[in-house]
Structures are given as C-alpha cells and as structure tokens.
Structure 1
Amino acid sequence: MKAISKLALALGVSMLLSTTVHAEDKTFKIWWYEDAASAAGITWKKALETFQEKHPDVKVQFELKTFDQITKSGTMILNSVEAPDLMEYNKGNAVAGLAASQGLLTDLGDVAKQRGWDKVLSDASNQLSRYDEKGIYGNGPLIGVANYGEFVSVFYNENMFKEAGVEVPKTLEEMEKVMDVFVKKGVTPIAEAANDYPAQHLMYLFALSKADPKWVNDFQAIRTPLDTAPFVYAGQKLQEWVKKGYISKDSTGLKAPDMANLFETGKSPMVVTGTWYGAQFGAIKNFKASQFLFPGNVISPASTGNIWVVPKNAKNKDLAYDFIDITLSKDNQALFGNSGGLPIAADPAMVTDPVGKIEVELFNKLVAQNGLGFYPDWPVPGYYDVMLKATQAVIGGSVTPEEFAERLKEPYDEVQGDQ
C-alpha cells in the first residue's frame, strides 16, 4: 500500500508540474508602443482579437510601452528572461542592428518561407529587416517583419489655410511666405517638439534638401566620415525659423503629444510629423486636416515601418509567428489603410479611407522618385539621444549650426573608423 501511495503521489506531482508548464506555455506575451488611436494601435488591437478567437486556450499578456523605453532599454529587455514572445522594435543600425549583432533576435528566414511572408513582402520591403554581423542594414539574416510603411510630411489645417487665403506651397520659398502670413496674425505656423523625436524630423528634412541618394546611403551605412555640410545647413534653417517665428523656441521643452495638441486645438496650422499620426489627425472634428510632402524636397524621412521581432529568449515563438500572419493578412492590411495608416501589403481596392488613400499616393510618389531617406538616428548606437540633445541646443540657440553638426560628427566618425 505504501508503495502504491508513493507511486500515486509521484504521479500526482508529475501531473501537477506538467499542468503548470502547460499553462505557462499557453501565455502569449506581446509588446508594442503605438498609441491606441493610431492606425497601428487600431489594427493590432483587432489582430489580437482575431488571434484570441483562433487560440481560445491562450492567455494574452499585452503591454503598451513607449518609444523611449524600447529605444533605450531594448537590448537589456531582449537579453533577459522577461523578454516577450513578440515585440515592436525600431529598425536601423542603432537599434535593430545592434540587437541583431549581439545575437538577441531570432532569424526568421526559414519561417518567412514556410509561412509565405516572402511572397507578401518584397526584397525592398525587407531591406530594413536584414542586418549583417556588424549590425548594418540591407544584408544578413532576416530578423524582423515589417507590415506597414511610413513617411514624414506636413499635416495642415485646411480651414485655417482657407481663412488666411493661402494655398498648399510647392516650394520652400512659397512655404515661408505662407508662414509669414500666419506670423503676422500672431500665430506660430508650425507646432514642434524638440524634447522628443519630432524636431529631429524637421532638422533631417532640411539636411535631406541638400543631399542625394548617395549621401543618404553613405550616411546610413557609415561608409565614410560624416559629411556635415547638410547638417550645418539644417542647423542654420532651424535657427532662422525660430528667429522668424515659424517655430517656437519653447518647443525645446515639448514632447510629441504636446505638439499634436497644439495642432489639434487649432493653435498652429501645420505640423511636420509622420503618417503614424494620420488616423489621429483624420479624426479631428472641428476642422479638416490634410497633408503634403515637404515642399522642394525629393528625399524625405521615410521607410518601411517598425518591425516585429521575436527575441531569441521568447518562450512561444510559434504563437508570435501566428500573430504576424494575422497582421499581414489582406483584411488586417486593409483595416490599417482604412484607419488612416499606410499598409505595406494591402489590396489598394480595399483601402477607401481618404487619409489612407492620400498616404498611399504620397508614399508611392516618394518611392518613384527614390525619395526614401530613412531616419537620422539610425546609423550609430546611442545616436538618438545625441541627436535629440543637439537639436534641442541648436533650436534653443545655445550652440551654433557648426557646433551642432560637430556634435553629430564625433560619435559617428568614431563608429565609422571601426568599420
């Protein structure tokens, strides 16, 4: 009897442990940092609902992070046992490339072929999802999956433009004349935020106006010491625009939500930002918002969107792959476009939303003119903070344009010399 009891007890403990492990295996952890009102936030929430319907026995643990959290702590998170099964990650050498070079991300090459992602996404769409052993984009293992596109443009208040008697500018000179009209009315034309990423986009637009595709490729791939001439010009224009009242010096203390609020409440008729704000601005009730490409530029900050990555330490990789499947489905991609976003693999006929249609049209124009300039903080690890502080300083007037450019050159050339 004692032997039987011991056997029963052992079997019971074994079954309990098995059940515990099984329960843990049925938890899917996913993180992203898109606002709930954004096209990505709306679409991925729907994807989670679809995922739950397909996996009723799985417990979903979703956590909303911030861009800063992932950018600054991403590698520590990925290298820990707390890493989720799937997370949104910023592309580029400084973030995704760094994590890939440290072996923290799962190679998705074989999975992409098995699940048909390679049929949905072109080689060009996967360019920012591949990184070599040094963490430089364009080649190497596939460590991420993009499912949308994005670009920086000028959103504007159609009502305020009409009341001021101005039209959408086609050149930078015309844009400055439009802004002069608003300045005379006591209105700051462009809502800006230099205590966050937005001001870097305006700065980079100025730099790209003096650049060509070769400069962009050399800059992003860290091929040569930094040619600072475009950045000196960018610093000059930022200070000129502050002096003329086109952007506020007070923007040095503002973050992206503050900037968006200035535009949404009609305090500024324009805001220079990305398509991730398309859904939010398209939902404004008290005026009609539309957008145009930064006038005079052939190249703009633009790329495929942030990528889904599966940490090497992820416990439920198959569930992560199932979720990616859903986000790349025709229905989910159409929802992305009809929520004011820019889908990467949608059937154009299924996108009927006015904002989505405009964004697809403008993005296609950028692609056709070889105008995808990527983003300025990508090349070097830690460059985001360097660029944020330098841009703040040049807008605030505490450094000269030349000193601003030198702040960007020093850490860049240090990494470039190691290539």
Structure 2
Amino acid sequence: MNHKRTTAVVGTVLAGALALTGCTGQAAGGGDTDDSTLTIWHYENDDSAMGKAWAEAIRIFEEENPDVTVDVEKQTFEQIQKNAKIVLTGDDVPDVMEFNKGNATAGQLAAQGLLTPLTDQAAERGWDKTLTGSLATTARYDEQGLMGSGDWYGVPNYGEFVGVYYNKDMFAELGLAEPTTLDEFEDVLAAFKKEGITPLAEAGAEYPLGQLWYELVLAYGDRDLVDDYQLFANDVDFHDQAMTQATEKLDEWIDKGYIASDSAALTAEDMGVSFIDGTYPIMVSGSWWFGRLASEVQADWGQFNFPGNALHPGSSGNLWVVPANADSPSLAEEFIDITLRPEVQNVLATEGGLPVAGDPSVIDDERTRELTENFQAILDDDGLAYYPDWPVPGYYDVIVSQLQSLVNRSKTPSEVLDGLQSAYDEGKADLLDG
C-alpha cells in the first residue's frame, strides 16, 4: 500500500506557478488523470475549529482510501485571494481548495471557467438537501459570477454570523435582563447611559459599525429587501422605509451617546479590547470573536441574537472548490462529502466552529452550545442575510466612510444614504455590464 500524508507551508508554490502561467486564459480542463494523490490547499490554523475538523476529514479520507497519498499544502488567506486566478490557469493546481465566497471571489473564478461545476454532485450526494435557502446562496453562481443562482461551484460546511455579546456582570449590577425586542434593547442602552456608561463598543474605522447599521436595516426590512440589495432581484431605493429608518435610528443612538463620539477612528481590535476589559457592556459583532472572548474575558458574559430580528448579517463560511484543472476531481468530491459527515461536523460543533449539519447536544461547554444553538435558530428561519459590503466591489470602504461621517456629525442620514446609493448603483452597473 502507498499510504502517506504530506504537509507543507507553501509560499514558493504560488511564486513558481506565477512564473509558469500567463495572466489570462481559461483553464484547459482537468479530469481524473491521477487516482493516487489528493492535493488539498487550505489556510486554517491547526488549533482552530476548522483546522481540527479538516484534520478529522483527512483522517477519515485516508482510512477509506489507503492507497491515496494526501498532500496538504498550507496557504494563507491572502496568498490564495491574491493569486488564485493566475495559479488556476496553469496545470499544477490543487485538487480541492478552500476559497472565499462572493461575487468578486468564487463568482469571478466560476465565471472565468476556472472552477468545476458541482451541481450534479450536489444532487447525487445530497448536498443540496443539507445546504438550502440562504446557506446555499454562496455556493451557486450564474454565468456573470453573481451568487444565488446557476451551478454549484463550491460547498460550505460551517457558518458565521453577527450577534450581540454582553457583559452579564454589568447587566446584573443594573438589574437588566437579556432583551428580546428592539424596544427592550433600546431600554437597556438607555439604562446604561443613565448611569454614565456608554453602552456600545463600536469601531467606525473598520467593519463593525457597518454591521450594526445593517442589523438595523434588517430590523426594518425583509427577505425581499435582502434579495434586491444582495442579489439584484430588483432596484434598491436607499431612501425607502427600511434603510431610512435604520440610518435615522443609528444617528439617534449616536446623538444619545449610546456610541462613543471617538468611535469613528477606532478599529475592530480597539472595539474588541474595550469589551474584553469591561469598558463597554455590549458588543455587536461576529462569531469570529467567540474564541478570543472565551479565553480573555474575565467577567461573566454571554451572547444572543440581535433582539427581534428574523434576519441577521452572516453567511456560510468559506467554500471548498474544485479547480477546473484538477487531476483528481473525484477524490476531491469525496473529500468534500466527508466534511459534511456528522463526525466532522461535530468536531466543528464542539470547537465552536458553527457547523451547518452538526448536533448541538454533543457540546459540553455552555457558551459554545449557546453560540451554536443561536446560529442554528438563524438557519432554521433561513435568516442569513450576508454582509452589507458584499453587493459590489469596493463597497466596504464606502460604507466605512459614510458611517464615519454620521459619527463625526458631518453628514445627515439623508446625505449618508445618498452616498451609499450612488456607489452601490455605479458598482452594480459595472458588474452587470462587465
């Protein structure tokens, strides 16, 4: 038997591929020309939930395929993100790799013919039954590379979402309960402010403030708005009821001092540290903070979904994709299938990795189980609404800049909405005409 696993941290692989391939051109087409080696590229740390889950998937694959050599090549997120298009036009490509979801990433590679369609496999292996609704949206791309319809080009097997972290000790000192509606949430904010405590840890220089704004958009909006905004189902009027109410509500919270006046210049790291050290009692942010909070917060703390919302910022995690030039696509598809098995999904569950098909009952840690159950509640309601900067390239910087102007009091809500509308419309036109 020829059974071994190799692991390499790859920097030169990408450099060599760049020297051997051109910058343009479609993939030449792979096929099952090698049934003895499976090459996997991913960028998860060994001690992360995903890293541990992928290690279990590899172990199972090796056990079931003793004559196959598994070659695991560690990349960084930035390496793959920056160089994937060039690398995948060559012949020396992985059989399966982890890649970012969205129009400008997986969608772009799919539209350029660099990824293998997985639609038939999704039906045969039941992936389309396990991954449905908003969870499957990031797996499918049309001929223009826009997500949400067309063929399957990737398979997610974990998730992420934005929720509310709170300092239970600070809540208890004021006799405050966990809010279940937006009105109750505002009552909590007011109670802290009355005691001289700014309630919300925030960061206007990076993503957090935009995600809080989007939580409010979703509080007033519905799935139709999400489909229009994210998937271009219909035109979006930023001065409609939901976006206007959300932007005015955020402006009201800034005016009332629920958000610190200097937060426009703060980073996500600044926000996280200020919540960890107990400066602020509430932080609205992503599940990616969970592990760090679990190891660093000294106070009692918890997490709940944004009160009253049926829709939440979040999505599937990164995708497993099969390059069009892969020489072992059948082995790659088998590996992907293994990552959705209960034994692998439950590793994600116990490690706080938010499985898409896990069992929260296997989780012993109370906070990890709470996080996973909160995510499962969102999935049960088909409540993932993606992220506010996703629709068009470059929109992240636009949202940051416009909302900083709101915090700095240099723009009114109406002027902010004008700025958001203009950049969105221009980006959408470029995508659809490109």
What interval of TM-score do these two structures reach, taking the shorter chain for normalisation? 0.7 to 0.9
Asked if the contact 1:232–1:404 (Cα under 8 Å) also holds between the matched residues in 2, the reply is: no
Amino acid of the structure 1 residue aligned with 2:101:
K
Amino acid of the structure 1 residue aligned with 2:292:
Q
Q: Which of residues 211, 226, 238 in structure 1 aligns to 2:236?
A: 226
1:235 is aligned to 247
Q: Which of residues 25, 30, 33 in structure 1 aligns to 2:41?
A: 30
Post-superposition shift, 1:26? Answer: 5.9
CA distance in 2, matches of 1:155, 1:246: 16
CA distance in 1, matches of 2:38, 2:347: 26
Q: Which of residues 210, 213, 219 in structure 2 aligns to 1:203?
A: 213
Bigger shift: residues 133-142 or 86-95: 86-95
1:61 is aligned to 73
Look up the SS of the partner of 1:252 in the other structure.
helix
Matched, 1:301 2:304: no
1:15 is aligned to none
CA distance in 2, matches of 1:281, 1:328: 27
Post-superposition shift, 1:371? Answer: 3.2
Q: Which of residues 355, 361, 368 in structure 2 aligns to 1:343?
A: 355
Q: TM-score, normalised by structure 1?
A: 0.79
CA distance in 1, matches of 2:38, 2:343: 25
Matched, 1:393 2:405: yes
Asked if the contact 1:338–1:351 (Cα under 8 Å) also holds between the matched residues in 2, the reply is: yes
1:254 is aligned to 266
2:22 is aligned to none
Larger radius of gyration: 1
Asked if the contact 1:239–1:395 (Cα under 8 Å) also holds between the matched residues in 2, the reply is: yes
Q: Which of residues 260, 285, 310 in structure 1 aligns to 2:322?
A: 310
CA distance in 2, matches of 1:319, 1:387: 42
Q: Which of residues 142, 150, 175 in structure 2 aligns to 1:140?
A: 150
Look up the SS of the partner of 1:308 in the other structure.
strand
Amino acid of the structure 1 residue aligned with 2:151:
P
Post-superposition shift, 1:232? Answer: 3.4
Post-superposition shift, 1:271? Answer: 1.0
Post-superposition shift, 1:224? Answer: 2.7
Look up the SS of the partner of 2:220 in the other structure.
coil
Q: TM-score, normalised by structure 2?
A: 0.77
Look up the SS of the partner of 2:138 in the other structure.
helix
Amino acid of the structure 1 residue aligned with 2:183:
E
1:96 is aligned to 106
Asked if the contact 1:152–1:275 (Cα under 8 Å) also holds between the matched residues in 2, the reply is: yes
Post-superposition shift, 1:209? Answer: 1.7
Question: Following superposition of structure 1 onto structure 2, how do residues 17-416 of structure 1 map, counting pairs within 5 Å?
Answer: 28=39, 30-32=41-43, 39-44=49-54, 47=57, 57-65=69-77, 73=82, 76=85, 81=90, 85-112=95-122, 117-118=127-128, 120-122=130-132, 125-229=135-239, 230-284=242-296, 286-313=298-325, 317=329, 320-321=332-333, 323-414=335-426, 416=428
Asked if the contact 1:172–1:295 (Cα under 8 Å) also holds between the matched residues in 2, the reply is: yes
Look up the SS of the partner of 1:193 in the other structure.
coil
CA distance 1:156–1:136, shift in 2 (3 Å): same
Asked if the contact 2:95–2:323 (Cα under 8 Å) also holds between the matched residues in 1, the reply is: yes
CA distance in 1, matches of 2:139, 2:120: 14
Bigger shift: residues 335-344 or 293-302: 293-302
Please list every run of 5 or more consecutive structure 2 residues that lacks an aligned counterpart in the other structure. 1-32
Look up the SS of the partner of 1:138 in the other structure.
coil
Identity %: 42
Amino acid of the structure 1 residue aligned with 2:112:
Q
Asked if the contact 2:277–2:297 (Cα under 8 Å) also holds between the matched residues in 1, the reply is: no
CA distance 1:262–1:107, shift in 2 (3 Å): same
CA distance 1:340–1:239, shift in 2 (3 Å): same
Asked if the contact 1:282–1:340 (Cα under 8 Å) also holds between the matched residues in 2, the reply is: no
CA distance in 2, matches of 1:241, 1:77: 46
Deviations 1:70-93 (A, max 9, x none): 77x476466565875544433333
CA distance in 1, matches of 2:303, 2:153: 33
Post-superposition shift, 1:146? Answer: 0.8
Post-superposition shift, 1:123? Answer: 6.5
Post-superposition shift, 1:239? Answer: 3.0
Amino acid of the structure 2 residue aligned with 1:154:
V
Amino acid of the structure 1 residue aligned with 2:320:
W
Asked if the contact 1:106–1:312 (Cα under 8 Å) also holds between the matched residues in 2, the reply is: yes
Asked if the contact 1:78–1:104 (Cα under 8 Å) also holds between the matched residues in 2, the reply is: no
CA distance 1:360–1:316, shift in 2 (3 Å): same
Post-superposition shift, 1:287? Answer: 2.1
Asked if the contact 2:38–2:331 (Cα under 8 Å) also holds between the matched residues in 1, the reply is: no
CA distance in 2, matches of 1:240, 1:37: 42
Amino acid of the structure 2 residue aligned with 1:157:
N
CA distance in 2, matches of 1:289, 1:404: 34
Please list every run of 5 or more consecutive structure 1 residues that lacks an aligned counterpart in the other structure. 1-21
CA distance in 2, matches of 1:238, 1:188: 15
Bigger shift: residues 77-86 or 402-411: 77-86
Post-superposition shift, 1:382? Answer: 3.0
Amino acid of the structure 2 residue aligned with 1:130:
R
CA distance 1:123–1:155, shift in 2 (3 Å): closer
* Structure having the larger proportion of residues in helix: 1
Post-superposition shift, 1:343? Answer: 0.9
CA distance 1:41–1:245, shift in 2 (3 Å): farther
CA distance in 2, matches of 1:291, 1:60: 35
Bigger shift: residues 230-239 or 151-160: 230-239
Asked if the contact 1:154–1:294 (Cα under 8 Å) also holds between the matched residues in 2, the reply is: yes
CA distance 1:88–1:185, shift in 2 (3 Å): farther
